């Protein structure tokens, strides 16, 4: 249902959508509607009538106790059922860390997202790393680990099409993972208030085919070589 309105572009997105939909149907559609219907039925049933005095209900009769024992009990059962469903999803998305095929570093700061991609050698923290601001380039159907850091204050890295949201905390390196399943360009947001420019730090994730990704990498490497060869002319 959610994917009709917001593309699901990672292996986790469908599972998270399923949990959101279960919560929606159980909490909103069933319990909320039932509670409101009961409330209005009580308003109607026990409205003021001529000759009927108001009375204080002590809740000692079994018929009255049902309302405060059975109904919360059913709510609790629903909570446990939802927890039973979302536990495995939470474990898979947030607590497990399947082996990575690529690793990227994501840096939050006031007020921009910047990224370190592995270069052609496929390894991070080597000389051929590709650093970008605003644009994260990834390859479709490839499992990524991300190393999330903050240069200053709390941020939260969010990719809505992945249904991914992870806080960035100064002084900590937080590792997570995602696996894109659809090519395209999608939004990256900060979803933790981080200062006056919080609303002005959008970035993009560009999910590419292997060929597109290789072409991008080659183009970046060519740019770096051109800049490096120009540097001595500038005064060194």
Binding region for other proteins (CB under 8 A) out of 79-87, 88-96, 109-117, 120-128: 109-117
State the sign of the Cα–Cα–Cα–Cα dihedral 42, 44, 48, 49. negative
For other proteins, the closer CB: 51 or 232: 232
Distant-in-sequence, close-in-space partners of 204: CB < 8 Å, separation ≥ 6: 134, 135, 136, 185, 186, 187, 188
Cβ at position 142, least distance to other proteins in Å: 22
Q: Check binding of 111 to other proteins (CB under 8 A).
A: yes
C-alpha 162/C-alpha 181 separation (Å) is 9
Structure tokens at 2: 């959610």
How far apart are the C-alpha atoms of 212 and 120, rounded to whole Å? 13
Task: Verify binding: residue 142, other proteins, rule CB under 8 A.
Answer: no
CA distance 205 to 87: 28
In sequence order, which residues have a C-beta less than 8 Å from that of residue 222 and are 6 or more positions away?
none
State the nearest-atom distance from the C-beta of 100 to other proteins, in Å: 22
Member of 65, 134, 218, 225 binding other proteins (CB under 8 A):
134
CA-wise closest residue to 183 among 207, 166, 217: 207
User: Does residue 14 contact residue 94 with C-beta atoms inside 8 Å?
Assistant: no
65 touching other proteins, by CB under 8 A: no
Compare residues 54 and 196 and give the one whose CB is closer to other proteins.
196
In 35-143, the DSSP E strands lie at 102-109, 112-117, 130-133, 135-139
**What is the rounded distance in angstroms from the CA atom of residue 211 to the CA atom of residue 124?**
20
Rule CB under 8 A: say whether 53 interacts with other proteins: no
From candidates 10, 11, 109, 181, binder to other proteins by CB under 8 A? 109
Residues 176-205 that bind other proteins (CB under 8 A): 196-197, 200-201
Closer by beta carbon to other proteins, 57 or else 196: 196
Give the Cα separation of 160 and 180 in Å (integer). Answer: 12
For residues 8 and 201, which CB has a smaller minimum distance to other proteins in the complex? 201
Q: Least distance to other proteins from the beta carbon of 157, Å?
A: 16
Candidate list 68, 80, 222, 231; residue touching other proteins; CB under 8 A: 231
The correct pick among 104, 116, 148, 149 for binding other proteins (CB under 8 A) is: 116
Question: Can residue 229 be called a binding residue for other proteins (CB under 8 A)?
Answer: no
The Cα 203–Cα 8 span in angstroms is 18
Could you say whether residue 151 binds other proteins (CB under 8 A)?
Answer: yes
- Cβ nearer to other proteins, comparing 108 with 180: 108
Which residues are near other proteins by CB under 8 A?
107, 109-112, 114, 116, 131-134, 151, 196-197, 200-201, 227, 231, 234-236
């Amino acid at each position: 249902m959610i994917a009709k309105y917001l593309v699901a572009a990672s292996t986790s997105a469908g599972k998270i959508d399923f949990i959101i939909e279960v919560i929606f149907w159980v909490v909103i559609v069933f319990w909320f509607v039932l509670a409101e219907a009961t409330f209005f039925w009580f308003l109607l049933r026990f409205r003021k009538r001529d000759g009927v005095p108001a009375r204080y209900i002590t809740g000692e009769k079994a018929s009255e106790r049902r309302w405060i024992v059975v109904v919360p009990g059913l709510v609790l059962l629903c909570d446990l059922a939802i927890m039973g469903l979302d536990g495995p999803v939470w474990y898979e998305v947030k607590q497990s860390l399947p082996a990575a095929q690529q690793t990227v570093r994501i840096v939050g700061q006031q007020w921009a997202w910047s990224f370190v991609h592995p270069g052609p050698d496929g390894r991070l923290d080597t000389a051929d790393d590709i650093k970008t601001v605003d644009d994260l380039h990834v390859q479709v159907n490839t499992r990524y680990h991300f190393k999330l850091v903050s240069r200053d204050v709390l941020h939260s890295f969010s990719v809505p099409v992945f249904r991914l949201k992870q806080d960035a905390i100064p002084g900590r390196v937080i590792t997570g993972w995602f696996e894109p399943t659809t090519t395209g360009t999608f939004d990256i947001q900060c979803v933790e208030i981080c200062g006056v420019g919080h609303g002005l730090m959008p970035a993009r994730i560009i999910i590419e085919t292997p060929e597109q990704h290789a072409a991008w990498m080659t183009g970046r490497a060519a740019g770096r070589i051109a800049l490096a060869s120009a540097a001595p002319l500038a005064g060194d």
